[in-house]
Amino acid sequence: MYTLLYFSPTGNTKHLAKQLGENLKIDETYILPLEFAKPEDLKTNDTLILMFSIQGFNAPRTVKRFIKNLPEGLYKKVHIIAVGCNTLWLNDAVSIDIKKILHSKNYVVGLDEVLAMPLTFVMSFPDAAGRKLVKESEDKINDISSIISKNHSSNRKVKFKSKAVNLIGKLEDPAARLFGLELHATKACNSCSICWNRCPENNIKPNKYNIPKFGLKCEMCMRCITECPQKAITPYISKFILIKNGYSLSRYLSK
C-alpha cells in the first residue's frame, strides 16, 4: 500500500521515517534510502511517502534528480515531508520544485509538511532544546500517520517571501561544490571505504593508496564527515561549520 523513500544524510529524517513506517505498518522492503534506490526498480503502489532533509531552503540535489527520473504512473498519491531544523516560514517553499516535477508527471501531491530536528552543522543544539524538537517532531509524525491513513491531503499556501528565500537558497548548490573541494582525509584515515560507498553524490573516489579524493559534486550533506569512524574528514578552511566531535542524533533521543 505504501512506499516510503527517505533521504537522510545524517540520520534525523531516517529516525522519523522509521517511526512513520512503524505507525503505518509499512513492510520493510518498501522503506528505502532514496539515494541507493533506482527509480526504474520501484514497484507500483498506492502511495509514495517522500521524506528528505532540507538544504539551503530547498530539497537536496540528490532528491530533485531522483524525482526527475521517477517514471510516471507508479503511485496514486505522493506525500512530501521535509525535515529541517525549524518550522519557520523560511522553509515553507522547500518542496516547490519537487511538486512542480511531480505535477508535470501527473502525480497527485497530498501532504506537504515541514518538520524540525536538531541542526547537523554550524552549531550544536543544547540537549534540552534538541530533545524538545525531536519530541515535537515525533508527536507530529503520529498526527501525520493518522492523516495519511485516512488518505487526507493538505493545501498549504506558500507566501511570496518564502519563495524568495527558496530562490536565494539555490546559491547553496555552487557553494557546496566548492566546499567539497576543500574536503580531505587526514592521516587518521584507515581506508575503510565507508565514505566513498556512502556519498549520495558519488563525489568521493579512492586514490591508488585507498585514500579518499573529493570532486566537484559535493552537496554539503555532512554524511562523510559524520560517518567517518576515524573522524578523518575535514575541510581545509571552513572548519568552523563543523560541530565539535561530530553530530549524533542519539544524544537527543529519550533513553
Question: Which residue ranges make up the site for ligand FMN (CB under 6 A)?
Answer: 8-13, 53-57, 83-86, 91, 117, 119-121, 169, 220, 222
User: Coil, strand, or helix at residue 91?
Assistant: helix
CA-derived radius of gyration, the chain: 18
Among ligand FMN, ligand SF4, none, the one that 203 touches (CB under a kind-dependent 5 to 8 A) is: ligand SF4
Please enumerate in sequence order all residues whose Cβ is within 8 A of that of 208, keeping only pairs 6 or more positions apart, or say none: none
Helix (H) or strand (E) holding 210: none
- Of residues 191 through 210, those in contact with ligand SF4 by CB under 6 A are 191-195, 199-201, 203-204
Please enumerate in sequence order all residues whose Cβ is within 8 A of that of 6, keeping only pairs 6 or more positions apart, or say none: 13, 14, 17, 31, 32, 33, 34, 50, 51, 52
Instruction: Kindly tell me which of 26 and 222 has the beta carbon lying closer to ligand SF4.
Output: 222
Instruction: Kindly tell me which of 164 and 171 has the beta carbon lying closer to ligand SF4.
Output: 171
C-alpha atoms less than 13 angstroms from C-alpha of 8 in its C-beta half-sphere: 22
Instruction: Kindly tell me which of 56 and 235 has the beta carbon lying closer to ligand FMN.
Output: 56
Instruction: Kindly tell me which of 55 and 145 has the beta carbon lying closer to ligand FMN.
Output: 55
Q: Does 220 bind ligand SF4 (CB under 6 A)?
A: yes
Among ligand SF4, ligand FMN, none, the one that 192 touches (CB under a kind-dependent 5 to 8 A) is: ligand SF4
Q: Does 224 bind ligand SF4 (CB under 6 A)?
A: yes
Among ligand FMN, ligand SF4, none, the one that 57 touches (CB under a kind-dependent 5 to 8 A) is: ligand FMN
Please enumerate in sequence order all residues whose Cβ is within 8 A of that of 203, keeping only pairs 6 or more positions apart, or say none: 180, 214, 215, 216, 217, 218, 219
